[in-house]
Amino acid sequence: MKRKFHAGWRPLVTGTALLLGLTQSGLAVTDRPVNGQAVYRRWCVNCHGKEGEGVKDKYNGALQGDWTLEKLAHYIDRKMPDDDPGKCAGPQAEAVARYIYGEFYSRDARARKHPARVELARLTNRQYVLVVADLLQQFQGPVAAVKETHGLRATYYSSRNTRREEQAFERVDAQVDFEFGTNGPAGVAATTNGFAIHWRGSVVADETGEYEFSLKTPNGARLWVNDDETPLVDGSVASGTTNEPRASIRLIGGRAYPVRLEFVKVPYNFKAPKNPNSGIVLQWKPPHGASQAIPARNLSPERAEPTFVVGTPFPADDSSAGYERGVGVSKAWDEATTQAAGEVANYVLKHLDRLAHSKASDTNRAAKVETFCRGFVEAAFRRPLTAEQNRIFVTLPLTGAPKLEAGVKRVVLLALQSPRFLYVGLDNAQPDDFTVAERLALELWDSLPDAELRRAAREGGLRSREQVAQQARRMLPDPRTRTKLRYFLQQWLQMNRVEDLSKDAQLYPGFTPEMVADLRVSLNLFLDDVVWGGTPDYRRLLLDRDLFLNARLAQFYGLELPPAAATNEFVKVAADPHQRSGVVTHPYLLAEFSYPKSSSPIHRGVFLTRNIVGRSLKPPPMAQVFKDADFAPNLTMREKVAELTRPAACQACHSVINPLGFSLEQYDAVGRFRAREGERVIDVVSNYPNDDGSVVQFKGARDVAEFAAGSEEAHNTFIEQLFHQLVKQPVMAYGPDALNQLRHNFVNSACNVQTLVVEIATLSAWHGCEKPAPPKRKS
């Protein structure tokens, strides 16, 4: 067992602004004031540089972090300078610590030196895909949302011919997962002419990404997904015995897509085929999922309209700040936007008459097409066009091309290459009604303003903070908000970094890829349930004892499903509150932060430190490898980790990481509750050093969850991460008090996540609008 983790994490405490006053007063006051700057120049500047920026090959990193002043002074007193510890001690250490802290170390100092601001940003890749999808949707009529998901509409025919008179019956099939044997489906008259089945409806994608659809059948079948004309999977020729025709398609999460599946069993008139059986399984492998029959909860008998999903791959967005931001451009990105614009242009040309509501025979087709073009550009730019813009972006490309279609292509290429489409915040200096609408739509949906928001912008309905908040509240139940919020929660819980959750097959038999996929669904359902089902209280995320389980999971984790529950479906089950506490003990995360053969208190501890308890850790200067074989076999994992991280250099961080990680030791590498590790009873008691110097005793996972649920740092981390995910700008750019204000309101709203989303959207959409400018048109 080898996996890298880092020893020597530097614990850094957030929220130092509030602690500053306390710790300063705690410092010793001496008779002779020491000049901190002078001390710094004497002892520190050689390795740390003039502004604490670091010196190559001496101390590379910048001298900044979230330790309290007191802790900083204490550390310098004992450890600095590096080559002669103890030389810079007592009052000198205190003075230099105060100097460092005030000049560049602390968050406030950094904010003062480099004030955060709302930056110009381009659309992130995620936003690009969603914006383009909704841009084209605007011209294709209203989208009928799928209301029920419980299977596909099926028509059975008593012949390979699917004429009406051959129809045997219709019904809804929860899944397409059939073995008909040699006789065919019950109720279909056995004729010598084979039989056929057509399934229709929609498939609902949970997450955004590549979906691989496959057809497991010895017969012929074709599958259409999100395209009524060209089949995605053409398996009309069955060939070979192990052949499962398959194809991938990119889908946007939280949306329904039309599907159609046509199956035919042909008669064999001459000699018997090698395989006389018939049957079909409609399978998919969703992102982070396993290949299996599409579950009923992702199928609907209602038909959705196709959505255009950009297929061009984009280079990954910058996420160095912990969230994806559009802060850089590159050649690869420029080429991707060009290619994607071409893709959209081709789609528009192929469907031009549908989009422009015209017909090839229309005498005024050119006029209709021009109207469409103007609408397209306005939607892309998120604001009305001036006469001059209309000339540049619509009239000139249309008239400059040899044919109408070529002109349309140029309009699309130009609009989608224009900074007015690609960038957000061109109007930050003077935001107007359309800026506010654009911000709201991107913040809540990663997409374009809808008709209602556009109307509000046009009619001056976004002129007060309350009007903006009202719009945000209206937009909240939209599936796109749900999708974005779920994406945030997944990022918060680091669910999107997961590559491989597989465990040692000998130690954890039955923990199959299908189980891992089920666990992800289970966690997703839990997150949705907290945020949208009943009381959207952040603390429920940490404290609820409910688990969503299907039969497979219930059996594995030793819980009982209600007797009436369908085997494939997920049911909310109340677990023992001593054993389960929200996301903290969700098996998916416990398994994620584990080794293939054992739990990993360090991975779990680091995750809890950063994301749940809300203390930040700096990347360590050196990497260590945990080797199980290095330890005596009778040691517990806790003992091994304690031993490994015993050196003082490690303890600086591991004094925080370890107690958090140890409190989850009652869960094995697949997240099952356990009282013992081998022969040894698990020691669940751990002492956690709080920021204020006090020690908190945890007796297991629920104690950690309860501590976090009431912790200011934990709230700050949650709010800040949510803010960044929604707004794609640093919260500090919205004023030094923005985060405190949001937290204050959050706590007062009983930690209501929905209210918090509205607050954040309103705060950032309204930024700079206190004195709203009249709608302005720029050229």
Under rule CB under 8 A, which residues in 184-223 are in contact with another protein? 212, 218-220
Stretch that binds another protein, among 247-255, 441-449, 508-516, 590-598 (CB under 8 A): 247-255
CA 677 distance to own-chain centroid: 34
For another protein, the binding residue among 87, 112, 117, 455 (CB under 8 A) is: 117
**Contacts with another protein, 372-411, as mask; x by CB under 8 A:** --------------------xx--xx--xx----x--xx-
User: What separation in angstroms does the CA of 447 have from each of 122, 127, 375, 396, 595?
Assistant: 13, 6, 17, 28, 39
For another protein, the binding residue among 34, 45, 116, 247 (CB under 8 A) is: 247
C-beta of 383 vs 580, nearer to another protein: 383
Work out whether 270 is an interface residue with another protein (CB under 8 A).
yes
User: What is the C-alpha to C-alpha distance for residues 611 and 489, in angstroms, rounded to an integer?
Assistant: 11
CA 768 distance to own-chain centroid: 28
User: What is the C-alpha to C-alpha distance for residues 516 and 552, in angstroms, rounded to an integer?
Assistant: 11
In this structure, the number of other CB atoms found within 10 A of the CB of residue 494 comes to 14
Site of tokens 């038909």: 303
Site for another protein in 427-486 (CB under 8 A): 427-429
Q: How far is the CB of 315 from another protein (least distance, A)?
A: 13
User: What is the C-alpha to C-alpha distance for residues 427 and 441, in angstroms, rounded to an integer?
Assistant: 15
Total residues interacting with another protein, rule: CB under 8 A: 76
For another protein, the binding residue among 239, 361, 506, 694 (CB under 8 A) is: 239
Q: How far is the CB of 402 from another protein (least distance, A)?
A: 9
Cβ proximity of 494 and 610 under 8 Å? no
C-beta of 396 vs 404, nearer to another protein: 396
C-beta of 223 vs 541, nearer to another protein: 223
Q: How far is the CB of 152 from another protein (least distance, A)?
A: 21
Torsion over CA: 562, 565, 568, 571 (sign):
negative
Helix (H) or strand (E) holding 360: none
C-beta of 339 vs 655, nearer to another protein: 339
Site for another protein in 307-336 (CB under 8 A): 311-313, 327-331, 334-335
For another protein, the binding residue among 48, 374, 420, 520 (CB under 8 A) is: 420
Q: How far is the CB of 238 from another protein (least distance, A)?
A: 4
Amino acid at 473: R
C-beta of 392 vs 696, nearer to another protein: 392
For another protein, the binding residue among 240, 534, 562, 774 (CB under 8 A) is: 240
User: What is the C-alpha to C-alpha distance for residues 440 and 569, in angstroms, rounded to an integer?
Assistant: 36
For another protein, the binding residue among 85, 90, 115, 419 (CB under 8 A) is: 419
In this structure, the number of other CB atoms found within 10 A of the CB of residue 462 comes to 27
Cβ proximity of 481 and 457 under 8 Å? no
Site of tokens 């090959």: 57
Work out whether 423 is an interface residue with another protein (CB under 8 A).
yes
C-beta of 69 vs 345, nearer to another protein: 345
C-beta of 427 vs 537, nearer to another protein: 427
User: What is the C-alpha to C-alpha distance for residues 179 and 157, in angstroms, rounded to an integer?
Assistant: 17
Count CA within 13 A, CB hemisphere, residue 14. 22
C-beta of 29 vs 272, nearer to another protein: 272
Q: What are phi and psi of 778, to 5 degrees?
A: -110, 160
Structure tokens at 276: 């006389």
Cis omega before residue 81 (within 30°)?
yes
Site for another protein in 499-558 (CB under 8 A): none
Structure tokens at 549: 């389980």
C-beta of 381 vs 746, nearer to another protein: 381
C-beta of 309 vs 608, nearer to another protein: 309
Q: How far is the CB of 64 from another protein (least distance, A)?
A: 21
For another protein, the binding residue among 243, 390, 494, 568 (CB under 8 A) is: 243
What radius of gyration, in Å, describes the C-alpha atoms of the chain?
A: 30
CA 486 distance to own-chain centroid: 6
Cβ proximity of 713 and 14 under 8 Å? yes
Length of the chain in residues, anyone? 779
Q: How far is the CB of 345 from another protein (least distance, A)?
A: 6
Stretch that binds another protein, among 39-47, 265-273, 483-491, 746-754 (CB under 8 A): 265-273
DSSP codes joined into one string, 316-383: PPB-TTSS-B-----HHHHHHHHHHHHHHHHHHHHTHHHHHT--TT-TTHHHHHHHHHHHHHHHHHTS
Q: How far is the CB of 271 from another protein (least distance, A)?
A: 5
For another protein, the binding residue among 28, 29, 272, 387 (CB under 8 A) is: 272
**Contacts with another protein, 282-311, as mask; x by CB under 8 A:** -----------------------------x
For 675-740, the three-class secondary structure string (H helix, E strand, C coil) is CEECCEECCCEEEEECCCCCEEEEECHHHHHHHHHCCHHHHHHHHHHHHHHHHCCCHHHHCCCHHH
Q: How far is the CB of 293 from another protein (least distance, A)?
A: 18
C-beta of 220 vs 258, nearer to another protein: 220
C-beta of 130 vs 722, nearer to another protein: 130
Q: How far is the CB of 138 from another protein (least distance, A)?
A: 22
User: What is the C-alpha to C-alpha distance for residues 108 and 444, in angstroms, rounded to an integer?
Assistant: 29
Q: What is the rounded (10 degree) CA torsion for 592, 593, 594, 595?
A: 90
Q: How far is the CB of 390 from another protein (least distance, A)?
A: 13
Structure tokens at 690: 């709080």
For another protein, the binding residue among 71, 246, 454, 743 (CB under 8 A) is: 246
Q: How far is the CB of 348 from another protein (least distance, A)?
A: 11
Site for another protein in 334-353 (CB under 8 A): 334-335, 338-339, 341-343, 345-346
What angle, 0 to 180 degrees and rounded to 10, lies between the N-to-C axes of helices 433-445 and 753-765?
A: 150
For another protein, the binding residue among 53, 119, 353, 639 (CB under 8 A) is: 119
Q: How far is the CB of 629 from another protein (least distance, A)?
A: 40
Q: How far is the CB of 266 from another protein (least distance, A)?
A: 6
Q: How far is the CB of 598 from another protein (least distance, A)?
A: 36
Phi/psi region, residue 253 (left: phi>0; alpha: psi -120 to 50; beta: rest), is beta
C-beta of 232 vs 379, nearer to another protein: 232
C-beta of 246 vs 654, nearer to another protein: 246
Structure tokens at 584: 């903290």
Torsion over CA: 55, 60, 63, 68 (sign):
negative
User: What separation in angstroms does the CA of 271 have from each of 188, 274, 276, 480, 598?
Assistant: 23, 9, 11, 55, 56
Q: How far is the CB of 342 from another protein (least distance, A)?
A: 2
Q: How far is the CB of 409 from another protein (least distance, A)?
A: 5
C-beta of 383 vs 503, nearer to another protein: 383
Q: How far is the CB of 281 from another protein (least distance, A)?
A: 16
Amino acid at 687: N
Amino acid at 59: Y
Site for another protein in 22-81 (CB under 8 A): none
Work out whether 228 is an interface residue with another protein (CB under 8 A).
no
User: What is the C-alpha to C-alpha distance for residues 189 and 420, in angstroms, rounded to an integer?
Assistant: 62
For another protein, the binding residue among 151, 235, 605, 768 (CB under 8 A) is: 235
CB within 8 Å of 569: residues ≥ 6 apart: 295, 296, 297, 550
Q: How far is the CB of 241 from another protein (least distance, A)?
A: 7
